[in-house]
Amino acid sequence: MEPKNRFWGWLFGSRSEDEDNEDDLEQVQEEQTAEEEIIPEEPPEPEPVINQLILPWDHPFILLYELWAEHVRDAPLPYLRLENAGVVSDSELEQELHRLRKFITAEALSRWEMIPKETKKPDEDGEELPDNEEAQEPEPVNLDAFPMVYVTSNRLGAWLMIFPPVGEGKELDRGILDAALQKSGVTFGVNTELLERLSDEPNRYFHLYRIAIGQPVVHGEDGYIEDFFERATKQKFVEDEHGRVDYFNLNLVQNVEKGGVICQAVPPKEGVPGRTVLGQEIVCKTGKAAVLPKGRNTEASEDGTKLLAVKSGRVEFSGRSFVVKSVLEINGNVDFSSGNINFVGDVHIHGDVSSGFSIRTIGDVTIDGVVEAAEIEAGGDLIVAKGILGDSRAVLRAHHDIYAQYMENCTVHCRGDLKTDCIVNCDIYCDGEVQVRTGRGTMIGGRIRAARGINAKIVGSKSESVTTVYLGGQPCANYEREFLQKSLDELEAELEKVERQPNSPSKTQRMGKIRLDLSVGRMKLGQFDKELEKIKNKLEEQGGCRLKCDIAYPGLVLNINKETLHLTKETSSVVARLVNGEICVM
């Protein structure tokens, strides 16, 4: 082994004989001490570092390090970690380490192949070579310190790793480093302080240094709309200590004065161009300006950043734009002083609605007082703060939700949800859910039809008054279908009657009109049937509808689809629904 030691000593420099003897003595002492000591338990393996490059023991890089470490006292360990600092995202780190591995492998293999190997050497078993075959000394080779510069795939980072000199090769200096950077093209974000001191660093070899970092691009951000009014309003029931709800203040109406700001457009943020370590500019994306959702009775401000109300009214979001709807204010009652009301917009009645009068509007209707035997139709929500005393003649229709403190002796058609404190002897058609949980929370008598279910405190009364409940379907659509079917039956009876009349121009004209009305009516009937089937399937997918109440008294008649249940005893904590074709009360 002596020729080999002389050869690698010539490549990487030799150590003194005294130093070798001291090392041997220390090694013997350490071996003796290790035999006497009890072998401790092996510590748990450290968790792998995700940004560290792991190389196998036979890798050219490791072989070069081992050869160098054999002839350098206290050689620092290799360090191959990508100190990221935001240069590479965590998702791209594994791919970047794979690129780094290929780069280091190519450079290390090239370096390894430059170092000459012994052509002849003793056999591994220690046998002497034949006399005619002597160990051949390799020809001398001198290699300067070699810095390799690795640039990331996004060109935002550059790392430096230096191989030590071989033989009489030149040690690392600033000139070698500058030449390597110039060859790699790295010019921007260079750590000049590191370059100045790197030649004197004890661990300058086989160590990965981040030598340059680029300027990441900052893309512009799109502008957005900042709203000062809610786009979707929802009632918030606030109960007092007695469980009563203030129906005067549901905060469903968003009023705005003329010239008021509805929303404003926040301008986009400008982007900042980036720059790679190679000095190339990275173009940034510019943010897009937000467009004001301008609708009816609104306009943009002079600078185009704010949406203003053209007139006073109620603010609503139509799905694509903000609109301001006019509000008709009635400071007193709806009676002979005001007459019937037909209005395109919202209506706010600060008093009562007297018997015999009507209100029709495409917007919301808000009534601060009591509704008597009147007729009200709202295209939006209907809010009655004090309640309804219908005298079995009041008819209320709303295409959205209905809120009332109480309802007595009236007919109600509600396309949305119905929420109240008390229902007494009412005929109700509700395509949503009937909620009677606030205040007294009682439902007594009448017929209540609900598509999505009923949630109340008390259903029925101790006197066992008949309270009929229908769940499922689409009550409003069913009512309209029944009304349409009744009209068709009347038209068919009239057509049959006209056909028996003598022929005349008036008969022909009348029959043509009746047949046209029948054709249109039958088409509407077919559409009703299709919609009802879709709604039925949707309810089945959602688990069906149910009746939920704290107490149910005898006299309750519950109908779900075609099944009927007559309650014969007082029941608490009722949850009734259709299970396997039967009404189940839990």
Domain residue ranges of the chain, discontinuous segments joined by +: 2-29+48-126+135-213, 217-310, 361-480+540-585, 483-535
142 or 390, which is more confident: 390
User: How far is it, in rounded angstroms, from Cα 477 to Cα 529?
Assistant: 9
User: How far is it, in rounded angstroms, from Cα 11 to Cα 141?
Assistant: 8
Has residue 119 got a pLDDT over 50? Answer: no
User: How far is it, in rounded angstroms, from Cα 33 to Cα 152?
Assistant: 48
- The two tokens of residue 559 are 């109908």
pLDDT band at 583 (very low <50, low <70, confident <90, very high): confident
pLDDT for res 201 = 87
Residue 105 has φ and ψ, to the nearest 5°, of: -60, -45
Residue 10 has φ and ψ, to the nearest 5°, of: -70, -35
Has residue 370 got a pLDDT over 90? Answer: yes
459 or 66, which is more confident: 459
Beta bridge pairs of residue 578:
583
Reported as type and span, the H/E element at residue 270 is none
Has residue 213 got a pLDDT over 50? Answer: yes
> From residue 216, how far is each of 82, 169, 209, 286, 482 by CA, in Å?
17, 39, 20, 15, 69
Structure letter (DSSP) for residue 52: B
| Tens of pLDDT, residues 460-497 | 999 989 999 999 888 888 788 788 888 888 888 888 88
Structure letter (DSSP) for residue 283: P
pLDDT band at 354 (very low <50, low <70, confident <90, very high): very high
pLDDT for res 339 = 85
Mapping DSSP to helix (H, G, I), strand (E, B) and coil, where does residue 440 land?
coil
User: How far is it, in rounded angstroms, from Cα 147 to Cα 449?
Assistant: 85
Give the E-state strand segments of 87-214 in sequence order. 146-151, 157-163, 209-213
Overall average pLDDT of the 542-558 stretch: 86
pLDDT for res 507 = 83
User: How far is it, in rounded angstroms, from Cα 268 to Cα 93?
Assistant: 32
User: Own/partner pairs for 137-144, CB < 8 Å, 24+ apart?
Assistant: 137/3, 137/7, 138/7, 140/10, 140/167, 140/168, 141/11, 141/114, 141/115, 141/116, 141/166, 141/167, 142/166, 142/167, 142/168, 142/169, 143/111, 143/114, 143/115, 143/167, 143/169, 144/169, 144/170, 144/176
- The two tokens of residue 318 are 């139509």
118 or 187, which is more confident: 187
Has residue 423 got a pLDDT over 90? Answer: yes
| Tens of pLDDT, residues 438-449 | 889 999 999 999
Cα dihedral 308, 311, 315, 318 sign: negative
pLDDT for res 537 = 65
99 or 233, which is more confident: 99
User: How far is it, in rounded angstroms, from Cα 586 to Cα 584?
Assistant: 6
Q: What percent of the chain has pLDDT over 90?
A: 39
- The two tokens of residue 248 are 């005067």
| Average pLDDT over all residues of the chain | 83
Has residue 235 got a pLDDT over 80? Answer: no
